[in-house]
Amino acid sequence: MPWQLVVVYIVIIASSLSLLTYWITKKFVLRKMNRTIMKAEHNYQQQIASLQQQLSGKVTVLEGMVNKLRLSNQELTRLNEIRSKFMSIVAHDLRQPLSSIQGFASVLMMDSPQGGGNNDQIALNNILKATDNMNMLMTDLMDISMMESGRFKMDGQPFTFNTLVDDVVTLQAVNAQKKGIFLQKYDYPITIPVVADRFRLSQVLSNLIGNAIKFAPQGGRVEVSFYEEGDTLTCRVADNGPGILHTEKEKIFLKFHQSDNDRNLKKQGWGLGLSIAQEIVHAHGGEIGVESAGLGQGAMFWFRIPKTPAAVAK
């Protein structure tokens, strides 16, 4: 039948066209896609190579910076060791001539009780005061040197803290009286036995009371109190001096830091006393701090240590 042949021809033609279309698509379209993919892959590889080159350059720069930092750290360590040795040598070597000056001045005062005249007596007293001050400065330098070299150790021994406070306050009362400062000690009704380094704790308390007397106004007031709470001992030294700014509280225990509240007083020390006091308290497993409502509101320094022997660094 003719129409059947027509249908067969149409089917054959349609199949041929489909195959032709598939072949053309595969040959040209897929080839174009492959070229596009290859181009994209080539660009990607170029980008990777460029990034690798940039990264290599940055790594080289970073390695150079790390090497410079390492050399800087080595130089800083070397300079720090030189500084520590220098402070130790200076403090040690200056002690002998200072002791000689102090000894000769004392002999002169003993040989001439009247001082050979008022001016001579004043001059000898000034020499002794100056040498005492220099000895204290040298002691601070020696302590800092021992701290930085790891030789700053505590000697824990049993003693009564009440007695330590009595001794320190008695010594500081002379300075307070000279300045017209009312130094008051609040006695704790219970004896407080502790195991700690008595000399070092007296150094801490002397520093806090001495600073309070130094910064308190003429005719001012300094109060010393202490108490126990469980296994801890707390000691406080309060004054009605110039007070401390909030920003100063973070810096006041740093080495060589001195407050700007009174520039005239900055000439009297290195600014090491509170830093040394902090080191001593920390070596006892304790903490130290300061509280002040602001300028003109006075300040209250405190430290807290455990009373138990195990808390003392050995």
- Ranges of each domain in the chain: 1-101+131-149, 157-311
Cα–Cα distance measured from residue 95 to residue 140, given in angstroms and rounded to the nearest whole number: 12
> Per-residue pLDDT for 285 more than 80?
yes
What are the structure tokens assigned to 187, written together? 């006695």
How does pLDDT run across 129-154, given as a tens digit for each residue?
Answer: 666 666 666 666 666 666 666 667 78
What are the structure tokens assigned to 91, written together? 């403090």
DSSP 18-72: HHHHHHHIIIIIHHHHHHHHHHHHHHHHHHHHHHHHHHHHHHHHHHHHHHHHHHH
- Superfamily assignment of 157-311 in CATH? Histidine kinase-like ATPase, C-terminal domain (3.30.565.10)
| Predicted pLDDT at 314 | 45
| Predicted pLDDT at 192 | 92
Looking at the chain, the whole-number percentage of residues with pLDDT higher than 90 is 21
> Per-residue pLDDT for 37 more than 70?
yes
How would residue 264 be classed by pLDDT, with cut points 50, 70 and 90?
very low
More confident residue, 98 or 36: 36
| Predicted pLDDT at 263 | 41
Mean pLDDT of all residues in the chain? 77
| Predicted pLDDT at 194 | 93
Cα–Cα distance measured from residue 28 to residue 210, given in angstroms and rounded to the nearest whole number: 97
How does pLDDT run across 213-245, given as a tens digit for each residue?
Answer: 988 888 889 999 999 998 999 999 999 888 887
Q: Are 192 and 232 in contact (CB under 8 A)?
A: no
Task: Give Cβ neighbours of residue 182 (< 8 Å, ≥ 6 apart).
Answer: 176, 219, 220, 221, 222
H or E segment at 15?
A: helix 2-24
